[in-house]
Structure 1
Amino acid sequence: MSSQENTTHTPARRRGRGRLRAGAVGALLVLVMGLFTTAAGADRAATEPTEGPARFAPGFVHGRVAVDGGFVHYVRGGSGPALVFIHGWPETWWMWRKVMPELARDHTVIAIDLPGLGASSIPTGGFDKAAAARRVRQAVNRLGFTQVQLVGHDFGALIAYPYARDFPGEVTRLAVLETPLAGFGLEDLYGISWHFRFNMSPKPIPETIMDNDDVPTYLGMMFQFSKHPELIDRETYYAAYADPARRSAGYEYYRAFPADAENNKANASTRLPMPVLAMGGEFSFGPGVGASFSQVADDVRPVVVPDAGHYIPEENAPFLTDCAKLFFGATATTPDRAELAGCVR
């Protein structure tokens, strides 16, 4: 809500919001302490452009590509087979910054902002994961790639799944990080964290409750689902979701979960033919990601990422990089440590 709207709160509502904030004092204190240990690179993120040469690493460029209903912002670098990264909530393409430069040595790395989030335009609909997958595919195709390898985190993985399922001839390998699949285990999480039901609430319930000044408190709580919150560039994501319209787009992705589950169950007989790397953090989903995707795919490689919670690409980027190089590499390579065994091509 705008600052002007805030001046019209009734006394009763102000008291209610005061009680809500009082209940979050503990989380806010944790957040404030964490601001002093924000990951290195936050200053660069604040000045990263949305078009032209990137600043986070040499050889990368920002651009926009038209899709149905608007455009998708992307960051691209390297050469070779296309490796497409799809982020989750509440993050943006920036979550992949630590793994992109090394993987760009052997791949054309493309990290996108999902429609409605980051620097992509906000569509009027199509937030179910099958529709979102079609938009992502359209962006990738228009960048000149019809054969890709996909990496998705959180609901980026929920979008990567229908991309691979509905266009199996275009996806050669798939990596899914830190989520069970809608219809095959995601629903079991609704009682574990209240944010699921909150984000899924009908419009405008979360839009009205969540003010701009609540963003660090709320997202700060989400980033505590990690082993190393100090490694997450939280300030960048607070800024990315400071726009109420982008927060609403994020809620729409959650509101589509029931439709996603129906779609996934209806199409589960179309099993994924490509290898699937299913990664869960040691302090988060662990082997549960593989157990979920094994219900829709025949060749699932479960991997537990050590010393990481939900935000694997930021908490343990070196492990993810090593694992991805093995899984997406041109030839099979013997890993140098046991925990990488599931990553072998």
Structure 2
Amino acid sequence: MGEAAHQPQSRWVVVPQVRAMRETVYGVRTHYVEAGEGDPLVLVHGGGPGSSGASGWARILPLLARHFHVVAVDLIGSGDTDKPLVDYSFQTLVDHVAGVVDALGLRQVRLVGNSQGAYVAMRYALDHPGRVTQVGTIATATLATAVGLRDDGRAVPLPTFDGTRESLVAFMETIVNDPAKLTDELIDARFRSASLPGHREMLNSLWSYRKLVTEDPDQQQVFEVRERLAKLAVPWCVLWGADDHTAPLETLGAGMQELYPRVPFHVVPDAGHQAQTDQPQAVYELLMDFFGRAPASVG
């Protein structure tokens, strides 16, 4: 396969139906980037201002495309995907991923998710286990919280995005530890996405949902996955940045390892919350080992 096949290409698909908390959204025009050939691998980005498939996975996607048909989705409300003004929940994002997988005709998939996206990927696997072969999770306070773990106040709060480039930079500096990886290209792309109509409304709606989950027992039992995850037969692994400031390794990461001792758990040195951005080669090699594929040599 030529090198060009490993480079992401912009694509669009219309997802016929996505369920929100109190209404249904029809015809969600969905953007994604794809590269490579072979078995499908769906990448699910994390949350935060300006998040998208391209910005969340840019450094590792060409590496993974050496082995797989990689699809990095812009989740509903993010990137260039439609941003309907609905009540967002995590299930809205899960349903959107399900719609993308169906719309693209992907019968069985591997998934990798980062942060909030790891919860979305894992929740998709729990809801559709027959459609999933393996799941990789990277640094996820959301999933850790959904199995009952707490950070004991050690997590660095994420800066609030107020619509300015400066606040976006502050946010990115919290989740990516290597300043060299915070290029003007990356910041420009995320700021453009963060400035699109409907994106901040989605962020605010999802933040309200997160607060609701802490207060409403009915929503808590929908969000929590501890018992379901213990019964999941789909193989999954956990990767965690050694220097993750927002989802501390010593509390949330260690807690996940203790709860699920049979699940492969790897600490990525010199990496923060977006380990795939800080250390793409290391994360790529760990994922390839989990997927049972030898990493391709990079000349």
Give me the TM-score of the superposition, normalised by structure 1: 0.68
Q: Deviations over 1:125-146 (max 9, x none)?
A: 3622223112111111211102
Amino acid at match of 2:242: E
Distance in 1 (CA, whole Å) between partners of 2:195 and 2:53 is 16
Does residue 1:316 correspond to 2:268, yes or no? no
Residue of structure 2 aligned with 1:228, choices 158, 162, 178: 178
Measured after TM superposition, the shift of residue 299 of structure 1 is: 4.1
Distance in 1 (CA, whole Å) between partners of 2:263 and 2:209 is 26
Measured after TM superposition, the shift of residue 173 of structure 1 is: 0.8
Paired position in structure 2 for 1:62: 10
Question: Residue 221 of structure 1 aligns to a residue in which SS?
Answer: helix
**What are the within-5 Å matches in structure 2 for residues 269-288 of structure 1?**
269=228, 271-284=231-244, 285-286=248-249, 288=252
Measured after TM superposition, the shift of residue 103 of structure 1 is: 1.4
Q: Deviations over 1:271-300 (max 9, x none)?
A: 3222221111111133633633765x6742
Residue of structure 1 aligned with 2:253, choices 282, 285, 289: 289
Seen in structure 2, the aligned counterparts of structure 1 residues 322 and 58 have a Cα distance that, compared at 3 Å, is: closer
Pairs aligned (count): 262
Question: Residue 318 of structure 1 aligns to a residue in which SS?
Answer: helix
Distance in 2 (CA, whole Å) between partners of 1:129 and 1:279 is 21
| Conserved? CA contact 1:154–1:179, under 8 Å | yes
Seen in structure 2, the aligned counterparts of structure 1 residues 290 and 120 have a Cα distance that, compared at 3 Å, is: farther
Seen in structure 2, the aligned counterparts of structure 1 residues 299 and 119 have a Cα distance that, compared at 3 Å, is: farther
Seen in structure 2, the aligned counterparts of structure 1 residues 293 and 176 have a Cα distance that, compared at 3 Å, is: farther
Residue of structure 2 aligned with 1:302, choices 257, 265, 272: 265
Distance in 1 (CA, whole Å) between partners of 2:117 and 2:109 is 15
Seen in structure 2, the aligned counterparts of structure 1 residues 74 and 170 have a Cα distance that, compared at 3 Å, is: same
Distance in 2 (CA, whole Å) between partners of 1:160 and 1:321 is 18
Paired position in structure 1 for 2:127: 166
**CA RMSD for the aligned pairs?**
2.8
Amino acid at match of 1:227: N
| Conserved? CA contact 1:130–1:163, under 8 Å | no
Distance in 2 (CA, whole Å) between partners of 1:267 and 1:131 is 20
Amino acid at match of 2:267: V
Q: Deviations over 1:242-261 (max 9, x none)?
A: 23521221232333224364
Q: Deviations over 1:32-74 (max 9, x none)?
A: xxxxxxxxxxxxxxxxxxxxxxxx9765432221222212211
**Percent identity over the alignment?**
25
Distance in 1 (CA, whole Å) between partners of 2:225 and 2:240 is 26
Give me the TM-score of the superposition, normalised by structure 2: 0.77
Measured after TM superposition, the shift of residue 320 of structure 1 is: 1.1
Seen in structure 2, the aligned counterparts of structure 1 residues 189 and 89 have a Cα distance that, compared at 3 Å, is: farther
Q: Deviations over 1:276-328 (max 9, x none)?
A: 21111111133633633765x67421111111111212111111111122112
Seen in structure 2, the aligned counterparts of structure 1 residues 179 and 261 have a Cα distance that, compared at 3 Å, is: farther
Does residue 1:263 correspond to 2:212, yes or no? no
| Conserved? CA contact 2:148–2:226, under 8 Å | no
Paired position in structure 2 for 1:249: 202
Question: Residue 159 of structure 1 aligns to a residue in which SS?
Answer: helix
| Conserved? CA contact 1:279–1:304, under 8 Å | yes
Amino acid at match of 2:14: A
Seen in structure 2, the aligned counterparts of structure 1 residues 153 and 261 have a Cα distance that, compared at 3 Å, is: farther
Seen in structure 2, the aligned counterparts of structure 1 residues 262 and 124 have a Cα distance that, compared at 3 Å, is: farther
Measured after TM superposition, the shift of residue 111 of structure 1 is: 0.3
Amino acid at match of 2:233: P
| Conserved? CA contact 1:183–1:264, under 8 Å | yes
Question: Residue 96 of structure 2 aligns to a residue in which SS?
Answer: helix
Gaps of 5+ in 2: 18-24, 214-218
Q: Deviations over 1:99-132 (max 9, x none)?
A: 1122112211000001010000013336222231
Paired position in structure 2 for 1:152: 113
**What are the within-5 Å matches in structure 2 for residues 28-39 of structure 1?**
none
| Conserved? CA contact 2:85–2:201, under 8 Å | no
Question: Residue 169 of structure 1 aligns to a residue in which SS?
Answer: helix
**What are the within-5 Å matches in structure 2 for residues 1-345 of structure 1?**
60-67=8-15, 68=17, 69=25, 70-90=28-48, 91-94=51-54, 95-125=56-86, 127-180=88-141, 181=143, 182-185=145-148, 188=151, 192-195=155-158, 210=162, 212=163, 214=164, 216-225=165-174, 226-232=176-182, 233-243=186-196, 245-257=198-210, 258-259=212-213, 261-265=220-224, 268-269=227-228, 271-284=231-244, 285-286=248-249, 288-289=252-253, 291-292=255-256, 295=259, 299-330=262-293
